[in-house]
Structure 1
Amino acid sequence: MLLPRILTPARAAITALKPSYAACISLPYSFDTLRSTNAPFSPTLTLVRHATHQAQGRANGAKDGPGKRLGAKKTGEEYVIPGNIIFRQRGTHWFPGENCAMGRDHTIYATQSGYVKYYRDPLKHPKRQYIGVAFQRHETLPYPPNAARRRRLGMLAVQMDQEASSSPKVDVLDGDMQLGEVAGSETAPRVVPRMKAQSQLVMGKRYAYREANWQIGRAAERAKVKVREFVPGDRFRAWRKSAARKTANAERRGLRGKRK
């Protein structure tokens, strides 16, 4: 406390004053003023401590964790395989070109093996930027207009025989024609009628040819196999089948527990 150090000089200063001033100043009143000023809980003194740094958190730091790692993942003329991600983006800054596709998060990836090409196609769209994959490094995208589309079908190039390539081509709709050398001879061209197929194939999903369901269901009839006819309203027979199936499943579960 500073009070003991201040009281002694204050007494000396008040005593040294002239009698006129000393009479006006009462000694107890001045000491009470000093005591109230230097008290530990003084109502006249307010202490405010300001923070030396921000307590809420970082102002310029990342709010939602690390970044999303957007941008180019493959450079130009870099070799890629199907499924390789070429560019990650938010929005369509780049569009998929030749042999490329775009995911639902606007990620552009390769659909064929080749070399990455970044290019523009003024004839297709004047302001868009495209990313494509070329099969050869020296190729440039986009391909010339009205040019044949280049595709990689995964086929092996084999040299054809000259005899097979020089044989004449004959198209026959109603049957298979066998070619000969001279017309009117035994080896002359003749039409061999095709045998009618017993089952009619119909193209279904995924471009697969298969028989109709009603034809598949009559396979046993065509093979002359006797099958017990199904009666739609026979509930007792259906109950017996379900009971037998449940019994077999219970026995199978019991055997499974014994094996363990």
Structure 2
Amino acid sequence: MLLPRIFAPVRAAAQVSSAYLIPSSRVLDVLRTANGFTTSSPTLSFLRHASHQSQGRANGAKDGPGKRLGAKKSGGEYVIPGNIIFRQRGTAWFPGENCKFGRDHCIFSMASGYVRYYRDPLKHPKRQYIGVAFEKDEALPYPQNGARRRRLNMLPVKMGGVEVETPEVQVVMGEVQVEGGAEVETSISAPQRNKSGTVLAMGKKGYAFRESNWAIGRAAETANVVVKEFVPGDRFTAWQKSKARIALNEEKKRLRMAGKKTAKPKKKTLRN
């Protein structure tokens, strides 16, 4: 709707005395004079006001919700394998002890423990690392030449020139026991025995101390089971055998179907 643009009706009324009555035919002339118009320009200016609010979002992101980046676990918080510790774009943080990268550069835990945010100048002078410590009072990074703890409470120990992982409760290193006034150095090379007292020798890879594992690993040997040696690479012979087997199965199926009586199809009758 177009409305006349009247700027100062109050000012016009102030200039006119209240005792003076203006005829109805002179009201427009008084308003024009008050607003700066003369009788030579009787046209009035009109202003178009918006009748509806313009469309569009005043607040909020234009590209949808945020990506929820940042720290998901704080320092010292307990995590389990698979927990995401930090989400990021790029490599502001790097995975440290018992952590790995995800495909979107997120860092997640590989073991149960407590989160640590730290730096390791010996590995890189400027990088920031996120790791998982097994104990609440442990600090990262670990000493450079110290024994590294692994999952399942294991420590790497050299035995006979081969590095194996042994339970921490069995490791006694650098201690000296006194027996009858003589110093005897302790070690972890004591033989392992089963319930019957039989000595169990360690396998090639440095494990299989348990009697159940020992029995399972030698079940075929004690039963004199002989397995035919597999000869790899003879694919042509395998293809011939497979082809002959398929042809034989098709022949058997054809003979079975020939022995069965098949029903004759009904004659089609034309409807009038």
Structure with greater helix share of residues: 1
**Computing the radius of gyration over CA atoms, which structure comes out larger, 1 or 2?**
1
